[in-house]
Amino acid sequence: MGRGPMEFVVVEFPTTTIDQQLAGQLREVVTSGLVRVVDAMVIRRDEAGTVTVQEFADLAPEAARPYADVVGTIEGLIADEDAADIATRVQPGTSALVVLLEHLWLSGIAGAMTAAGGRVVFTERIPAPVVDQVLAERAAS
Amino acid sequence: MFMRPGLRRGPGLLGAVARTAVVAGTATAVSRGINRSLDNREQERAEAAAYEQAAAQQQAPAQQQAPAPQQAPAPQQPPGRQDDLMAQLQQLADMRQQGLLDDQEFAAAKAKLLAS
């Protein structure tokens, strides 16, 4: 069976430790079966700009524990060159949680679309803050 | 607690998206999960358009180069500028797409290009 589309989500935290609360939110969508975490890593950039890529297997147990039932099989799909690309976006002095999500809910839709001869010509995610801003502007006009 | 993945070698997902978008001329039609500046997108669109033109013109010469695919990826211009590198990487991807390079040759040529 074909895989669903995948999406990188990279969340930067202003500290050298990754956030624990995010794990709870991720757990909800993973448990729902809509999304699967197929790969994850932590990218740190120190003040000097030196980048460290850390596997979940190498994280301190207390930092990794909340993610234990969220991150499934780490497939290693995030290649070194992906990590290098993402690392350029991480600010010095911060840590970024890199998660590769598979949108399971989209694979059925994609199959039906292909079977019907359709093709995706455009897809764009609008960040929630942008949606809020546009709605506020419309309400004000 | 967590499995350790194998080596994170091979083609990256992000690079694959960029190559597919350029080769298929659908740079604007690909969702980008990673935030990019608007300027960046405009530049990508321009590059994709320019690439399509170049690809159309290069169709014939590319086929003449078929007997010596190893020579083709050698940079003709002095490398260094990011644009040149991108263009050359795209050319390599295109040659692989056309079957002029197999995966191994592509990987070798790409490594050489990135190391230069």
- Distance in Å, alpha carbon of A46 to nearest chain B alpha carbon: 22
Contact yes or no for B1 and A120 at CB 8 A: no
Q: Do A100 and B12 touch (CB under 8 A)?
A: no
Which of A61, A79, A89 has the CB atom closest to B11's CB atom? A79
Tell me what pLDDT residue B112 has.
Answer: 78
B25 touches chain A (CB under 8 A): no
Pairs from A80-83 (Cβ < 8 Å, separation ≥ 24): A80/B8, A80/B9, A80/B12, A81/B11, A81/B12, A81/B14, A81/B15, A82/A8, A82/B8, A82/B12, A82/B13, A82/B14, A82/B15, A83/A41, A83/A43, A83/A53, A83/B8
Residue in chain A lying closest to B25 (CA): A121
Helices (H) and strands (E) in chain B, counts: 4, 0
Q: Contacts from B79-87 at CB under 8 Å and sequence distance 24+?
A: B79/B113, B79/B116, B83/B47, B85/B113, B85/B114, B86/B47, B87/B47, B87/B51
How much is the pLDDT for B56?
59
Query: What average pLDDT does the segment B8-12 reach?
Result: 85
pTM tops 0.95: no
Per-residue pLDDT at B48 exceeds 80? no
For residue range B73-104, list pLDDT tens digits in order.
544 545 445 677 777 888 888 877 777 777 77
In the predicted model, residues of chain A with pLDDT beneath 50 are none
The pLDDT of B32-40, averaged and rounded, is 46
Q: What is the pLDDT of residue B64?
A: 47
Q: What is the mean pLDDT of residues B5-17?
A: 85
Domain residue limits, chain B: 12-50, 72-116
pLDDT of residue B69: 47
* Segment B15-28, tens digit of pLDDT: 888 887 766 555 44
**A98: closest chain B residue by CA:** B34
Residue in the structure block whose two tokens are 């940079």: B75
Give me the pLDDT at residue B28, please: 46
Residue pointed to by tokens 């608007």: B38
Residue A54: per-residue pLDDT: 92
**Looking up tokens 């990673």, which residue turns up?**
B34
Q: Where are the domains of chain A?
A: 6-140
Query: Tokens 């993945």 — which residue?
Result: B5
Q: Does B2 reach chain A within 8 Å, measured CB to CB?
A: yes
Mean pLDDT value of segment B35-56: 57
Measure CB to CB from residue A125 to each of B6, B14, B31 and give the nearest one: B31
Distance of CA A97 to the CA centre of its chain: 8
Cα gap B66→B100, rounded to integer Å: 6
Amino acid at B100: L
CB contact under 8 A, B5 and A120: no
The reported pLDDT for the residue numbered A89 is 93
Across chain B, what does the average pLDDT equal?
Answer: 65
CA-CA distance, A56 to A64, in Å (whole number)?
7
A39–B12: do the CB atoms touch at under 8 Å?
A: no
Q: Would you give the DSSP letter of residue B3?
A: P
